[in-house]
Amino acid sequence: MHINTTLNYSPNFNPKKRKFKQIKFIIFHYTGMKNEKEAIQRLTSVKSKVSSHYFIKNNGELITLVPELYVSWHAGISSWQKYKSINKYSIGIEISNPGHDNNYKKFSKKQIHSILKLSKYLIKKYNIKFVLGHSDIAPYRKKDPGEKFPWKYLSTNRVGLWYDLNEKKLSKVRAVKVDKHDENKFLKNLYKIGYSRFLPTDKYKNKRLLIKAFQRRFRQELINGLIDKECLLISNNLTKT
């Protein structure tokens, strides 16, 4: 398989090359900036100290910012299952989108086409285990790529985890409250899936952020940070062995 990409190297990466086998994650981001050119400038400027391996433009074109075997600086403080500092283990993909603070918009068809093509290429090449969003590995700090990201569509093409439940039935228990016991069961499921159990400072606020991260990934129709029956059933299904 071949991918078409333009080179526009960023200086923001670790000079030491990593081993091929160390790459286990794909992490998706949105740029969170209105202007695409400015977003590329930021990711390639020494001052910003941020980068990613790939950048997907509004028109679907792909740019390589950092070669895959170098650690790029996209994830920050992050964790998933037993893994910490996910930069070390991941390929970071930035997608042009103004984000929640600037009129968050749908990803374009051309972008989605490129996301799928690039993901399939990387999954095959590195035998990638985890395909996640920034908010999954840093739920207390990040919202990207957000609830408009096409997780369900990607999963039908065998990219990323999804559940196996009847959606119509599920939607009937949306916003249906659950008891304390079920709330705890849901949170346990989250930790089992891979979300961090470490709640920094404000426990109440951070629990809601964790629930929102789950919703942005698996229940995009309602992002309210509250555990309901639909969320519980999805999490049960995802942890079923």
Instruction: Compute the distance between CA of residue 132 and CA of residue 228 in angstroms, rounded to an integer.
Output: 23
Judged by CB under 5 A, the stretch of 21-29, 49-57, 99-107, 225-233 that binds Zn ion is: 21-29
94 is catalytic: yes
CB count within 10 Å of CB 127 equals: 11
Identity (one letter) of the amino acid at 115?
I
* 143 touches Zn ion (CB under 5 A): no
* 29 touches Zn ion (CB under 5 A): yes
What values do phi and psi take at 85, rounded to 5? Answer: 55, 75
Closest CB to Zn ion among 134 and 219? 134
Closest CB to Zn ion among 144 and 147? 144
Which is catalytic among the residues 68, 94, 147, 221? 94
Among 24, 53, 57, 134, binds Zn ion (CB under 5 A): 134
Instruction: Compute the distance between CA of residue 47 and CA of residue 118 in angstroms, rounded to an integer.
Output: 28
- How many residues make up the chain in this entry? 241
Instruction: Compute the distance between CA of residue 238 and CA of residue 193 in angstroms, rounded to an integer.
Output: 7
* 217 touches Zn ion (CB under 5 A): no
Rounded to a whole number of angstroms, the minimum distance from the CB of residue 121 to Zn ion is 21
Q: Which positions are annotated as active-site residues?
A: 94
Q: Which residues bind Zn ion (CB under 5 A)?
A: 29, 134, 144
